[in-house]
Amino acid sequence: MSTGVSTSTDKIIVDKSRSHRNKAVSRTVRATRERLQTATGIAPGFEREMLQLHIASAAQNALAVPVVVVLIAAVGVYLTQEIGLLAWAILALSVHALGMIVARRAHKQEITADNTRRWQRIFLAAQVAMGLAWAAFSLQTCGPCGNATFDFYKGSALLVALAVTAISTLMLRHAVLYAFLPTVVALSISALLRPNPATFGMVTIISAALIFLIFMTNRLRHTSAQLLSSQSEKDDLIAELEVAKSMSDEARRRAEEANLAKSRFLASMSHELRTPLNAILGFSEVMSTEVLGPLNNPVYKEYTSDIHRSGQHLLNLINEILDLSRIEAGKYDLSEDSVHLVDIAEDCIGMVQLRARAKNIAISEQVEGDMPAVWADEKALRQVVLNLLSNAVKFTPQGGEIFVKAGWTAGGGQYISIRDNGPGIPEEEIPVVLSAFGQGSIAIKSAEQGTGLGLPIVQAILAKHNGEFILKSKLREGTEAIAILPAKRVLQSLPAVTETQAVAPRRKSFA
């Protein structure tokens, strides 16, 4: 339990200052659910992310297309000696430069959901312009060289360009189609105007490669969208868990503060609550015993006895509440000394013996002999044993029996066990009776109802002694309460020191 004191005057469990975070998380979770309900396609919310990835990829791969263009032009000039390929290379590099300028401008501006479509159209227009440059390359001819050799060169160059374009424009929808559809159209028109098997073969290969790459890029884009969706869902869940944890921590902190304030209040009100009750008990006892003279009316004497009995009951109740409050507030200090557990048990048995005889209950003892003392608070241990014996007497029926055992534990500690043959406690109600103010169904139905603080106080006192409290019970068979003290609390007696002959002091000589 936290012992810090809050300086805030707001004691509301829910922190209203974080409501905006809750609304944001709710909107995000709602959007995520809408995405999950989408059966096909890519959610509109991911088009912006895809476009941003394309812009980043264009900046990273800015040199890929120029390198390919320069290599194709250099190989072509070497093979064909055609200077026109240099003019085409300048045209292609200029178109690519314009595309890079567009990418840099988009990178500097903020891509929003409203302008995503516009930027997609601009980038697709840039791909169309680059596609016209590749179409111009496909229409190049070579007079001195053979048609088969030049067609093989053009086909190989276009396949390389198609692959590079597909990789660099993976995140832009329909980019490969817009970039190489003009090339396929130009090659098809050229094949129709000048029928040639090599040209038909090149058109077929380029078209098949284009269709295959369109299919693959669509699949890869869909996989990328799924990865983005998973990442977004993970971020949403993390945000929701953070808000839930924050609200839980805030609620726990405020509950602990409220409980600590209650415990401190009750612990500090001990004198104010007990002083009036002591006066009531004292004066009612004086009147009931007629110390200052007889009471003429016998009903008044009966009333004074009722007042004394009710005040005593109220005082016991307040003592239990104050004990538990001091323990919770950390103000329950132990006054430890060397005590014998068996002696405490016998004294407590004598204190409840009168009540047990009134109900014709027999109390049996079974203790191990020569048990050493333990280092503990005698008053606290006496309260533990007395609470357990009082509960046993209270819930044991007429003519029942109570068994008290004391001995060694397997770990070298000491224990005291109090078992009765009463109605018992249902197994599911044991955690209830061990909680503060908790009462089982048997206790609620009985005539002698308590406060539900006896067992929690026992458990807390044993915890202060580093001990353990075990409650075993079966319905209609009885209950056994075991209080255990650890081995480090047991004081082992030391053997007597044997007498040894004193050593004669050495005489000092002063020469």
Angle (CA) 63-69-70 rounded to 5° is 90
- Asked whether residue 5 carries a pLDDT value surpassing 50, the answer given is no
Which pTM does this prediction carry?
Answer: 0.46
Laid out side by side, the sheet with 478-485 consists of 362-367, 401-408, 414-420, 478-485, 468-474
**What pLDDT was estimated at residue 304?**
84
- Asked whether residue 224 carries a pLDDT value surpassing 80, the answer given is no
- pLDDT digit string (tens) for 192-214? 877 777 778 888 888 888 888 88
- pLDDT digit string (tens) for 487-497? 999 987 545 45
- Asked whether residue 454 carries a pLDDT value surpassing 70, the answer given is yes
Q: How many whole angstroms separate alpha carbon 170 and alpha carbon 386?
A: 81
Q: How many whole angstroms separate alpha carbon 248 and alpha carbon 253?
A: 8
Around 90, how many Cα atoms within 13 Å sit in the side-chain half-sphere? 4
**What pLDDT was estimated at residue 101?**
87
**What pLDDT was estimated at residue 324?**
72
- pLDDT digit string (tens) for 466-502? 899 999 888 888 899 999 999 999 987 545 455 545 5
User: Mean pLDDT across the chain, nearest whole number?
Assistant: 78
Per-residue pLDDT band for 447 (boundaries 50, 70, 90) equals very low
Percent pLDDT > 70 in the chain is 80
- pLDDT digit string (tens) for 390-440? 888 888 888 899 999 999 998 889 999 999 988 888 888 888 888 776 676
- pLDDT digit string (tens) for 8-37? 333 333 344 444 445 555 565 566 555 555
- pLDDT digit string (tens) for 244-268? 888 888 888 888 887 777 767 766 6
Q: How many whole angstroms separate alpha carbon 307 and alpha carbon 295?
A: 15
Q: For the residues 1-10, what does the mean pLDDT come to? A: 39
What SS3 state is found at 168? Answer: helix
**What pLDDT was estimated at residue 481?**
92
Q: At what angle do helices 47-60 and 84-108 cross, to 10 degrees?
A: 130
Of residues 302 and 38, more confidence is placed in 302
Least confident of 294-298, 315-319, 484-488: 315-319
**What pLDDT was estimated at residue 484?**
92
Q: For the residues 456-461, what does the mean pLDDT come to? A: 86
- Asked whether residue 357 carries a pLDDT value surpassing 80, the answer given is yes
- Tell me which range, 26-30, 50-54, 101-105, 326-330, is most confidently predicted by mean pLDDT: 101-105
Helix (H) or strand (E) holding 460: helix 454-464
Per-residue pLDDT band for 172 (boundaries 50, 70, 90) equals confident
Of residues 296 and 159, more confidence is placed in 159
- Asked whether residue 106 carries a pLDDT value surpassing 80, the answer given is yes
Q: For the residues 117-126, what does the mean pLDDT come to? A: 86
Which of 423, 408, 425, 422 has the alpha carbon at shortest distance from 472?
A: 425
